[in-house]
Structure 1
Amino acid sequence: MKALLFIEIDGEKAIGGSLELISAVKSLEAEVSALVVKSKSVADNIATFGVPVVFTEASTDCDTLTEVLSETIKEQNPDIVLLSNTELAKDIAPRVAGRMELGCVSDVISMSKTDGKVVYTRPAYGGTILEHIEVEGTAIVTVRSGSFSKPEASSNAGITEKKIEIPASAVKAKIIDTVKEISESVNLEEAQVIVSGGRGMGNAENFKLVEKLAKVLGGVVGATRPPIEEGWISRAHQVGQSGKIVAPKLYIACGISGATQHTSGMSGSSYIVAINKDEEAPIFEIADVGIVGNVTEILPVMIEEMKKSKEKAE
C-alpha cells in the first residue's frame, strides 16, 4: 500500500494538521511519501520525520496546486492521498478526485485497516452519527485537524526535487491582490486547551470568567453563536458548524446546552468538561465530566483552584 501526503504550508512552516498526516498514515503500515510545494525549508523539515519528500517550486494558488497534485498522483499511483481538512484542501481534493475519477472522503477523524482494506471514519448529520467508508481504488482523503498526534523526528529520508510544468490553460484564476482582514488572530484549530462559553453565561461581564479560566490554563477562548451575536466576543472565536472545527486535548464548555450546530465542531476533543445548570442538557451526553450548577458560581472556584495548582507546580 502506498500513501501520498500533501503538506500544506503557512509561510515557511507546515500547518499542524499536515504534520498529523504523518502519524495518521503510520498506523496503516503504508509506504509513504510527501509532496511539498514552494517552501524548501518545509521540505527539509518533513524529511526529518522519516518521510521521503517530493519538492517542487510552484505557485500555491488553487489551480496550480490542483495540477501539481494531479501530476504527482499520476506518477506515483498511490492507494491513498491524504490532505489536512483545511479550506484549501476542501477546494483541491474534490477537484482532483473529479478530474481523475477517484473516490473522495472528507473530514475523516480515524482510519483502520481490515483485511487489506482501509476503513475511513467520519462524522455525519452534524456529528450525531459516525460513517465508516471504504473506497474502491485510490482515495483522496481530507483529515480533520487534531484527530492524530504530531509526529516525532526520526531519520532523514531525503528530498527529490521535481519540475512540474503547469500549462497556462490550467490556471483559470489568478490572485492579483490580497487584502488581509484586520481582525483578532485566534488559532483555535491547533489549541491544546479551549474554554468555551455559551448563552448560559448570561452577559458580557460573566463571559469574562471564561476568558480568565482560559488564561489560567494557557488555553484559547471559544464561543457558541449567541455570545458572538450579543457582541460579548468576536466571531473569530466561534466553534461549530458555522465556525471552527476543533479537537483539543481539553475542552471546557461553560453554559453551553449542546446543540448539534456546536457539538459537531468540538466532539473530537480528547477530554470534555461541561458545566450547565440543566442536568438534562445534551452537552452532558458527550462530556467526560459533567458539573451541574450555576456556571457563574462554579467558574470563580475553578479559576482559584487552577491558580493554586499552577503555583504548586511552579
Structure 2
Amino acid sequence: MILVYINSSNGISKSSYEAITYGKKLGDVIALTNGGASADELSTLGQYGASKVLVDRAIDGEDQKQVINLIASTVAQNNVNTVIFSHDLFGKSVAPRLSVRLKAGLVSGAISLPDTDGCIDVNVFSGKALGKVKVNTEIKIISLLPNSLQPEENGASCGVDEISCDAGAPAIKVLSTKKPDGEIPLPEAELVVSAGRGLKGPENWGMVEELASSLGAATACSRPVADIGWRPHHEHVGQTGVAIRPNLYIAIGISGAIQHLAGVNGSKVIVVVNTDPEAPFFKAADYGIIGDAFEVVPRLNEAVKKFKAS
C-alpha cells in the first residue's frame, strides 16, 4: 500500500497531484491529509490515482509533530510500505523526521520511478550529475521533486473518509497566516521572470514585474537580492531556495553561480539577459541577450504586449 501525504492547509497544489500520480505507478494509493481542503476538493485526488482519501480535520497541518504522529498511525493501520511527500519546504522538513520515527530509508528529491533494481534517480552536485539511491528497509519514504512528472488524470473518483487520530497536544499554535495575494506559486509556475543585483536596486523592480504580468509569469530573484532585502525570501530560487522547472525561465542581471543554477536547471527554456558576455549563465542558456537590462527588458515587454494584441 502506498500512502501519499498532502498538506492541504492552503488547498491542493499541482505538486500534490504529481505525488498521487507517482504513487499510483507504484501501487494502490491512499491519500492522507489534514483539514485544509473541502471534501469536494479532496475527492479530485481520485482523478489522479487515489483509491481513497483519509482526512483528520483536527490536525494542524503546520504542526509537524502532529502530522508525523498522524502518518505513523496511518502507516501502522493500513500495511503501508511506501510514504510519499512532495519535496517542498514542508516535505523537506517532515520526511527526514518521519524516516527516523519509522526507521525507514529515505529518498530525498526523487526525480524518477524506481528502476528494475529498485534504484531511484536524484540530482547530485548541484544538478550536475545524477545519483541512484536504493532503499533496503521494509518501509520506504520518498520526497518527489516538483515537476518531475506530469499529473495524469484517469477520470476516476474516490471517497473521502473522516478519521480521528490521537496525535497529541499541539506543539505550536499558529496565530495567523498571511498569504500573498495574486501571486503565482513558484513551484507551480510555467513561466518565471527572475532578476539579480544587475538591477542595481529594489526601485527598479517595476519593469521586471511588468514583464512578468504581460507574460502571466511568476517573479523570482537570486539569493543575494533576497539577502539584502530587495525582494522577499520566498522569491529566492536556487540550491538554498525554491527549485523550479518552468517551461520558460528569464534571468535578468544574474551571473549564474552554480548554487543558482542548481535550482533552475530543470527549466525547459532559459533566456539570459546580462551585460557581461562572460557571465557563466550564458553557458546554461538556450537564448542569450548581451545588453543592458534597462534597455532590453522594456523592449521585451513591448514586444510581448504587441504580440498578444495581434
TM value normalised by structure 2: 0.85
Contact 1:185 1:236 in 2 (8 A): no
* Closer, same or farther: CA 184–128 of 1 in aligned 2, 3 Å: farther
Q: Paired residue for 2:140?
A: 139
User: d(CA) in 2 for partners of 1:306 and 1:183?
Assistant: 26
* Closer, same or farther: CA 302–95 of 1 in aligned 2, 3 Å: same
Q: Paired residue for 1:73?
A: 75
Q: For 1:198, which of 196, 199, 203 is the aligned residue? A: 196
Instruction: Map residues 181-260 of structure 1 onto 2, 5 A cutoff.
Output: 186=183, 187-204=185-202, 206-229=204-227, 231-260=229-258
Q: Paired residue for 2:32?
A: 35
Q: 2:156 aligned with 1:155, yes or no?
A: yes
Q: Paired residue for 2:108?
A: 106
User: d(CA) in 1 for partners of 2:221 and 2:294?
Assistant: 16
Runs of 4+ deviating beyond 6 Å: 182-185
Q: Paired residue for 1:268?
A: 266
User: d(CA) in 2 for partners of 1:193 and 1:167?
Assistant: 40
Q: Secondary structure at the match of 2:48?
A: coil
Per-residue CA deviations over 1:80-120 (Å, capped at 9, x if unaligned) read 32101233323321222112211012122x113422x4432
CA shift, 1:21, in A, is 0.9
User: d(CA) in 2 for partners of 1:91 and 1:203?
Assistant: 33
Q: 2:125 aligned with 1:128, yes or no?
A: no
Contact 2:66 2:167 in 1 (8 A): no
Instruction: Map residues 285-296 of structure 1 onto 2, 5 A cutoff.
Output: 285-296=283-294
Contact 2:28 2:51 in 1 (8 A): no
- Shifted more, 132-141 versus 222-231: the winner is 222-231
Q: Which ranges of structure 2 fall in alignment gaps of 5 or more residues?
A: none
* Closer, same or farther: CA 81–231 of 1 in aligned 2, 3 Å: closer
TM value normalised by structure 1: 0.84
CA shift, 1:126, in A, is 3.2
CA RMSD of aligned residues (A): 2.7
Contact 1:128 1:260 in 2 (8 A): no
User: d(CA) in 2 for partners of 1:82 and 1:103?
Assistant: 12
Amino acid at match of 1:284: F
**Identity level (%):** 30
Q: Which ranges of structure 1 fall in alignment gaps of 5 or more residues?
A: none
* Closer, same or farther: CA 65–277 of 1 in aligned 2, 3 Å: same
Q: Paired residue for 1:56?
A: 55
Contact 1:195 1:252 in 2 (8 A): yes
* Closer, same or farther: CA 167–311 of 1 in aligned 2, 3 Å: closer
CA shift, 1:218, in A, is 0.9
Contact 2:21 2:49 in 1 (8 A): no
Q: Paired residue for 1:19?
A: 17
Aligned length, in residue pairs: 303
User: d(CA) in 1 for partners of 2:167 and 2:113?
Assistant: 38
Per-residue CA deviations over 1:25-83 (Å, capped at 9, x if unaligned) read 34x45333322333434432212334212413241332222112112222333443210
Q: Secondary structure at the match of 2:146?
A: coil
